[in-house]
Amino acid sequence: MKNKYNPSEVETKWQKVWEEKKVYKPDLKKAEKPFYNLMMFPYPSAEGLHAGNMYAFVGADIFGRYMRMKGHSVFEPIGLDGFGIHSENYALKIGKNPMDQAKISQENFYNQLHSIGNGYDWDRTVETYDPNYYKWTQWLFIQMFKKGLAVKKKSPVNFCPSCKTVLADEQVIDGKCERCDTIVEKKDLEQWFFKITDYADRLLSNIPKLNWSEKVKIAQTNWIGKSEGMTVKFRVEKLKKEIEVFTTRPDTLYGTTFLVLSPEHRLVNFLLESKEIKDYVDRAVKKSDIERQAEGKEKTGVFTGVYAINPVNNEEIPIYIADYVLSSYGTGAIMAVPAHDTRDYEFAKKYNVGIKQVIAGENVSKEAYVGHGKIINSEDLNGLFYPKDKEKVINILSEKGIGKKEVHFHLRDWLISRQRYWGPPIPIIYCQKCGAVAVPEKDLPVKLPYIENYKPIGTGKSPLATHPEFYNTKCPECNGEATRETDVSDTFLDSAWYFLRYTSTEVKDKIFEKEIIKKWLPVDMYIGGAEHSVLHLLYSRFMTMFLKDLGLIDFEEPYKRFFAHGLLIKEGAKMSKSKGNVITPDKYIAKFGADTMRCYLMFLGQFSQGGDFYDTGLEGMNRFLKRIWVFSNSVLLTDKEEDREVLRMINKTIKEVSKDIERLSYNTVIAKLMEFYNFAVDKKSLGKDTLEAFLRLLAPFAPHLTEELYQSKISSAKDFSSIHSNLWPSYEEKHLVLNEFLVVVQVNGKVRDTLKIKSKDSEDQKTVERSAKGSKKIESYLKDKKLIKTVYIKGKIINFVTD
């Protein structure tokens, strides 16, 4: 054993051994006690792995290592979500074909990943741009198509003029493209959608059953956004037509003082009587939904000059057109109740429309009253309560034929098509005679061709549309001339099912091996960023339900437990390319070793909260690991019965560390291991079992260092047996009790001595008093004094009060 801790030597050595001995490669068919430990699919940025990724991955790996040591067969796969706009934009920036760049990025990324020492099964990587993978992404598209869940519709879509592509609503942040910050425009385009809305109720009703954090569950619930209410029809005599509205507040129907149509509403065409109205509508339809709904934005609108009849009381109420009403939600028209809705209130004040209070509560002369209360001014609804009697209100109104009960969801269908190059071509063929036909399964994958002009062209079409050799084909049904779809699919689709494919990377003729899926899924632990708590999780839940409906799997929720980690920041600022403060772990690993970096990252704060990275902090952690190295190599290891106090400390550490790892509180684990080290460091000798337990507790955090010390100091096995596939230490309650107490002795509140008291004696005040009085020091303080009283705080303090 050399005396100096040389991390790079130790780390390369063990990484090789682990790979050879398949320490992290469970036999997926035969394994017992399977545990699927999944970390979120990375889409590495230009720099490859950065410290933020490493932070997330190491945190996830620690949990996997812990479960492995607890006796599970742990499957911990990794891969690369390399298709999509993210990688493509980078390739565009450096002027390299994304297909060429992918190979370079992959090699670099996997090399970096190897160096961090995670327990990955390297035989089962998945890359989304591998035709062996996207063949099945396309296959899924076809299954959706066959079930009528993949549909093409013309719709106003978000279009980023800079990225020259369509964006899903979620990719638009404050009206801007999430990738490049350009203001997003609306365009009417034919697009492919997955009808995730058909699954809205199921996606929602499963949420309470999930073992996920409340925050994530709430985010999903809100995104799906179930609203229960009514649709009500208002007659427009002048047009001989009706306007239907959706409301969640039918209890306020008597308080409706005007109607509002969205500028896109189909009746608007009959109402373009003046230039003012036309101009307003023209301007409004160009704005994005987000812009239109922005909070605090001044309401605008225009009166149409036309009136409608409120069906409950036959009152005539004016009809406005205003952009705060969206065409994409409900019926695209609303009944406005300014007394009880803030937006309607602002509008009514600005345009001088009447306000009528129908819920008792605060006065509405200054602002809308949106609270609970008794229904008033509403004829036969009077006396009922909002919200308690909502159901009753709905029943009364429906019985009278005034409206229909209705449920709406905020969730929109999933926009799948992208007019870009770098994705899986959508496997559809258009034939003059047969229409849209799915590519036959035997012809999959539809390979993405290598083309020179991969740049987006901005015409609303993919660059593939300039390649007749790609799109000209024969119709699979009639063999006539036909053309391929030239759009590619969204990256979110690639990542909606990858966790299934990891189990079956070697199978060629089916999407996955049912038997293995049955054994390993649903995923036991899923660890990833909170920023994916809505979309990615929702899409993969949807895909899982769909596969269940196809009869391919027998569960419908993919992730039993989901844990959201915090973000790593750099010296107080979010790590980002634009700030130039992205750190790659490489140089730190080269200097201090992966183990130091791992422990350092995990020590920064609660894993769920994230941490602030300072270069200078690494030295301290490195010193700690060096000391462990020196101590383990120099302390005399014995087989003799361990000292009581040492036993107590190690048992306590085992207990607390185990508990903290279960809740992924890693920083406190490291603190407790440091505490144990500080306690043990002065000892000349230590039980071998004690050191072994300590090394095991540290093993998930510093896997290389602990393997080296375990193999050289502890293990006597003939055949290699890794510390990482060995048992997690257990503790015994009986060792946890304190053997001795240190009792402070005071005279008149001043500390005069301390006593060691056996724990069984500490129960009895008389015994403690006796030994306190027996102390020479105390004797001198008590001499010639009259003892008035004695106060004893069990196991802690004894105080003599004298006159």
- Within residues 63-122, the interface with ligand ANZ by CB under 6 A covers none
Helix or strand or coil: residue 666?
helix
Q: Is 292 in the site for ligand ANZ (CB under 6 A)?
A: no
Angle between helices 666-680 and 594-603 (to 10 degrees): 110
Q: What are phi and psi of 137, to 5 degrees?
A: -65, -45
From the list ligand ANZ, Zn ion, none, partner contacted by residue 340 (C-beta under 5 to 8 A by kind): ligand ANZ
The two beta strands, 211-212 and 561-565, are: parallel
Gap between the Cα atoms of 157 and 288, Å rounded: 10
Single out the residue of 8, 213, 227, 711 in contact with ligand ANZ (rule: CB under 6 A).
227
From the list ligand ANZ, Zn ion, none, partner contacted by residue 246 (C-beta under 5 to 8 A by kind): ligand ANZ
Judged by CB under 5 A, the stretch of 143-151, 425-433, 531-539, 720-728 that binds Zn ion is 425-433
| Residue 406 C-beta: closest distance to ligand ANZ, Å | 10
Q: What is the x/- site pattern for ligand ANZ, positions 186-225, by CB under 6 A?
A: ----------------------------------------
From the list ligand ANZ, Zn ion, none, partner contacted by residue 252 (C-beta under 5 to 8 A by kind): ligand ANZ
Q: Which is nearer to Zn ion, 439 or 516 (CB)?
A: 439
Residues 6+ apart with CB under 8 A from 526: 38, 39, 40, 558, 559, 561, 562, 563
Q: Is 478 in the site for Zn ion (CB under 5 A)?
A: yes
| Residue 666 C-beta: closest distance to Zn ion, Å | 59
Q: Torsion-angle region of residue 181: left (phi > 0), alpha (psi -120 to 50) or beta?
A: left
| CA neighbor of 654 nearest in space, from 155, 84, 73, 69 | 69
Q: Is 436 in the site for Zn ion (CB under 5 A)?
A: no
Gap between the Cα atoms of 144 and 196, Å rounded: 10
| Residue 475 C-beta: closest distance to Zn ion, Å | 3
| Residue 679 C-beta: closest distance to ligand ANZ, Å | 58
Gap between the Cα atoms of 432 and 49, Å rounded: 48
| Residue 625 C-beta: closest distance to ligand ANZ, Å | 54
Gap between the Cα atoms of 77 and 110, Å rounded: 12
From the list ligand ANZ, Zn ion, none, partner contacted by residue 23 (C-beta under 5 to 8 A by kind): none
Q: Is 147 in the site for Zn ion (CB under 5 A)?
A: no
Single out the residue of 252, 417, 653, 746 in contact with ligand ANZ (rule: CB under 6 A).
252
Q: Which is nearer to ligand ANZ, 324 or 666 (CB)?
A: 324
| Residue 335 C-beta: closest distance to ligand ANZ, Å | 5
Report DSSP state, residue 106. Answer: H
Contact 523, 211 (CB under 8 A): no
From the list ligand ANZ, Zn ion, none, partner contacted by residue 341 (C-beta under 5 to 8 A by kind): ligand ANZ
Gap between the Cα atoms of 108 and 80, Å rounded: 12
Q: Is 638 in the site for ligand ANZ (CB under 6 A)?
A: no
Residues 6+ apart with CB under 8 A from 538: 196, 203, 220, 223, 224
Helix intervals (H) in 70-129: 85-94, 98-115
Single out the residue of 332, 425, 558, 703 in contact with ligand ANZ (rule: CB under 6 A).
332
Single out the residue of 63, 329, 421, 694 in contact with ligand ANZ (rule: CB under 6 A).
329
Gap between the Cα atoms of 121 and 24, Å rounded: 6
| Residue 473 C-beta: closest distance to Zn ion, Å | 11
Single out the residue of 78, 281, 334, 448 in contact with ligand ANZ (rule: CB under 6 A).
334
From the list Zn ion, ligand ANZ, none, partner contacted by residue 249 (C-beta under 5 to 8 A by kind): ligand ANZ
| CA neighbor of 602 nearest in space, from 613, 591, 593 | 613
Q: How far is CA 243 from CA 239, 248, 759, in A?
A: 10, 17, 83
Helix intervals (H) in 212-261: 214-224
Q: Is 445 in the site for ligand ANZ (CB under 6 A)?
A: no
Judged by CB under 6 A, the stretch of 23-31, 206-214, 247-255, 710-718 that binds ligand ANZ is 247-255
Q: Is 431 in the site for Zn ion (CB under 5 A)?
A: yes
Q: How far is CA 209 from CA 133, 212, 339, in A?
A: 31, 9, 39
Single out the residue of 63, 120, 129, 246 in contact with ligand ANZ (rule: CB under 6 A).
246
Report DSSP state, residue 425. Answer: B
Judged by CB under 6 A, the stretch of 127-135, 323-331, 391-399, 768-776 that binds ligand ANZ is 323-331
Q: Is 537 in the site for ligand ANZ (CB under 6 A)?
A: no
Helix or strand or coil: residue 250?
helix
Q: Which is nearer to ligand ANZ, 350 or 574 (CB)?
A: 350
Q: Which residues bind Zn ion (CB under 5 A)?
A: 431, 433-434, 475, 477-478, 480
For ligand ANZ, the binding residues (CB under 6 A) are 227, 246-249, 252, 262, 325-326, 329-330, 332, 334-335, 337, 340-341, 408
